[in-house]
Amino acid sequence: MVQLILFNVLNGLIIGAFYALMALGLSLILNLSGVINFAHGGFLAIGAYLAYTLIPYVGFWGALLAAPFLTAFIGILVERVLIRRLYGRDPLYSLLLTFGLAFMIEDGTRFIWGADSLPYQIPGWLQNTLSSQLFFLTGYRVFMVVLVAVAVLGLFLILTRTRLGLRIRAGTLDLETLSVLGVNVRILRNLNFGLGIYMAGLAGVLAAGMLGLQPTIGDSLIMPSFVAIIVGGLGSLPGTLVGGLLIGVASGVTTVFLPSASEAVMYVLMAVVLLIRPRGLLGEEGRF
C-alpha cells in the first residue's frame, strides 16, 4: 500500500509537471494582460497537429523544436488581431471571445485534419520503461519532465535576465507606469502572449505522444490549468508551478483510494485553499 502511494506521488509529479506547463502559459497571459485565455487548450491542439504534420519532413526532434514556435507565431497573430481589442475591458469579455475562438479552433482542426484520431509515433528508444520496479517511469515521461524543467528554467531566465522579462515582470505590477516610462506596451503584451502560447504549443507536442491526437485533445486540460493558477495564487508564477504539481499528486494519490474521485479532488483542493487562504498558496494579497 505504501509503495502504491509512493508510486502515485512520483507519478503525480510527472503529470503535475505537465499541468504546470499549461498553467504557466495561461498565467503569463493572465498576469500581464488580464485576459482569461479559454482557447489555451485549442493552441495546445494546434501545437500537437503541427508537430504531427511536420514529422515526415523534419522528424520527431525537428517537429518538437519547430511546432511550438509556429504555434507561438499563430498566437502572436491572434493577439494582434483579436485579443488586443479586449484590454481595459471586463475580463468576462475575454472569456467570451476566447471561448468562441476555442470553438473555431476545435472545428478548424477537425476540418483540416479530420475527426479520426491520428497515430503519433515517438522514437523507439523513448518508448520503454527505465526500470522494472518503477515501470511508470517510461523514457517518454521522464523526457517530458526534463523538457518541462528546461522550459521552466528557460522561462525563469527570460524573466530575470532579459530586458523583455524584466518588462513583463514590471508590467505585471504596474502597466501604466511602465508605459509612461516609454516602454512599448503593445509590443510587450504581444510578445508576452506569444510566450504563453509557446508553452501551450510545447505542451501540445508533448501531449501528442501520450494522448490520442484528435481535435478535443486540449479540452480536459483547461480546467486543471485554471485550478492550478488559483491554488498557487494569482499573479505568482512559482505558485502556478506549485499548484500544477500539487494537483497532479493529489489526483494520483486519490486514484489509489477512490479512482472515480481523481478528477473531483482538485476542486475540493481548490475550495479548501480558497476558504483557508483566499489569495492562494503563494499569491499576493490584494490582487484581483
Partner 1 sequence: MDLVSRRRAGDAAIWLLLVSAPYWLTHVGGYVELGTRVLILALAAMALNFLLGFTGVLSFGHAAYFGLGAYGVAMTIKYLIASTPLAILVGVAAGTAAAAVVGPLIARLRGVYFAMCTIAFGQVFYYIAFQWRSVTRGDDGLTAWHRMPLDFGFAELDILNNNKAFYYMVLVVFAAAVAAMAFLLRSPFGRTLLAIRENERRARFLGIPVDRHIWLSWVISCFFVSIAGALYALMNDFVDPRALRWDQSGNFVIMAVLGGMRSFWGPLIGAAIFLVLEDYISSHTDNWMSFVGLFFVLVVLFFPRGILGIIGRRAVS
Partner 2 sequence: MPSGNPNSRLGIGRRTVIKAAAAAGVFQVAAPFVQTARAADNVKIGLDNPLTGTFAALGKNELIGAKLAVEQINAKGGILGRKVELLVEDSTSGDAATAVQKANKLIERDKVNFLLGNINSALAQAMANVSYEKGVFHIVPGGHTDSVTGSECHWNVFRVCNTTRMETNSVSQLLLTSYGKKWYFITTDYAFGHSLQEGFEASLKAANGTEVGHDFTPLGTSDFSANLIKAQAAKPDALILLLAGDDMINCLKQAVQFGMDKKTHIAGAQQELEVLDGLPAEALVGDWVFEWYWKQSNVPHVAQFVADVRKRSGGKVPTARTWFGYASVWSCQLAAERAKSLVPVKMAKAMQGMVLPPEVALMPNNPFYRKGDNQLMPTLFVGHAQKPPTGGDPEDLFKVTEEVKGMDAALPVDQTGCKMTWPT
How many Cα atoms sit within 13 Å of 254 on the Cβ side?
17
Nearest residue (CB) to partner 1, 191 versus 270: 270
113 binds partner 1 (CB under 8 A): no
Picked from partner 1, partner 2, none, the partner binding residue 2 (CB below 5 to 8 A depending on kind) is none
Which cell numbers hold the place of 124?
523507439
Query: In which residue are the cell numbers 476540418 written?
Result: 111
276 binds partner 1 (CB under 8 A): no
Helices (H) and strands (E) in the chain, counts: 11, 0
Tell me the CA end-to-end span of the chain in Å, nearest whole number.
42
| Residue 6 CB, nearest approach to partner 2 (Å) | 10
Nearest residue (CB) to partner 1, 99 versus 143: 99
Query: In which residue are the cell numbers 489526483 written?
Result: 251
100 binds partner 1 (CB under 8 A): yes
| Residue 191 CB, nearest approach to partner 1 (Å) | 22
Picked from partner 1, partner 2, none, the partner binding residue 173 (CB below 5 to 8 A depending on kind) is none
Task: Determine contact, residues 244/236, Cβ cutoff 8 Å.
Answer: no
Show the binding pattern over residues 222-261: x = contacts partner 1 (CB under 8 A), - = does not: -x--xx--x---x-------------------------xx
Angle at which helices 139-161 and 2-33 pack, to 10 degrees? 30
b/e burial code for range 37-49 (CB count within 10 A of at least 16 → b)? bbbbbbbbbbbbb
Phi, psi of 209 (to 5 degrees): -80, -20
Show the binding pattern over residues 258-277: x = contacts partner 2 (CB under 8 A), - = does not: -xx-xx--------------
Angle made by CA atoms 270, 275, 277, in degrees to the nearest 5: 90
Q: What 8-state DSSP symbol labels residue 34? A: -
Q: Where along the sequence are the contacts to partner 2 (CB under 8 A)? A: 3-4, 7-8, 11-12, 14-15, 84-85, 87-89, 106-107, 110, 114-122, 127-129, 135-136, 138, 140-141, 186, 207, 210-217, 219-221, 251-252, 255-256, 259-260, 262-263
Q: Where along the sequence are the contacts to partner 1 (CB under 8 A)? A: 82, 85-86, 89, 91-93, 95-97, 99-104, 106-108, 111, 223, 226-227, 230, 234, 260-261, 263-264, 267-268, 270-271, 274-275, 278-279, 288
